[in-house]
Amino acid sequence: VQLQASGGGLVQAGGSLRLSCAAPGDIDSAIIMGWYRQAPRNVRELVAGISSDGRTNYAEFAKGRFTISRDNAKNTVYLQMNRLKPDDTANYYCVASKYLPPIVTPTTLDLFSWGQGTLVTVSS
């Protein structure tokens, strides 16, 4: 299932954004929904993931600043990003899978169904 992220934009450092991502249909309860990001010349890295029963995991850079949430009834996952930094500038992608690795390499990229992503730009 290809998920489309929205909510990105341009924000000043210290600001906030809320990203949203809705699946076109029901998501199996075994599926984890999550957010990845990729900056130019960087790898695609996991930001946060959430299971259907609400268990979460975060990348170190996201802890304390970002919050992932999920509305199972709406098949939607959100990413609230606070205290944004210029280093957070990237394309953000949402994905649904039984396993979300910390890093997605070029060889594993096609194992997942990626939407277009949403661009987050944080100015200093």
- Distance, CA of 11 to CA of 15 (rounded, Å): 6
- Distance, CA of 102 to CA of 5 (rounded, Å): 19
Q: How far is residue 25 CA from its own chain's centroid?
A: 18
Instruction: Note the pLDDT of residue 51.
Output: 94
Instruction: Note the pLDDT of residue 2.
Output: 77
Output the furthest CA–CA distance in the chain (Å, rounded).
Answer: 40
Instruction: Note the pLDDT of residue 49.
Output: 97
Torsion angle, alpha carbons of 109, 78, 21, 124, to 10: -70
Local confidence pLDDT in tens for the 124 residues of the chain: 678 899 999 999 999 999 999 888 888 888 899 999 999 999 999 999 999 999 999 999 999 999 999 998 888 999 999 999 999 999 999 999 999 999 998 888 888 888 889 999 999 9
Look up residue 17 and give its two tokens. Answer: 């954004």
In 3D, which of 105, 107, 104, 114 has the Cα closest to residue 1? 114
Instruction: Note the pLDDT of residue 106.
Output: 87
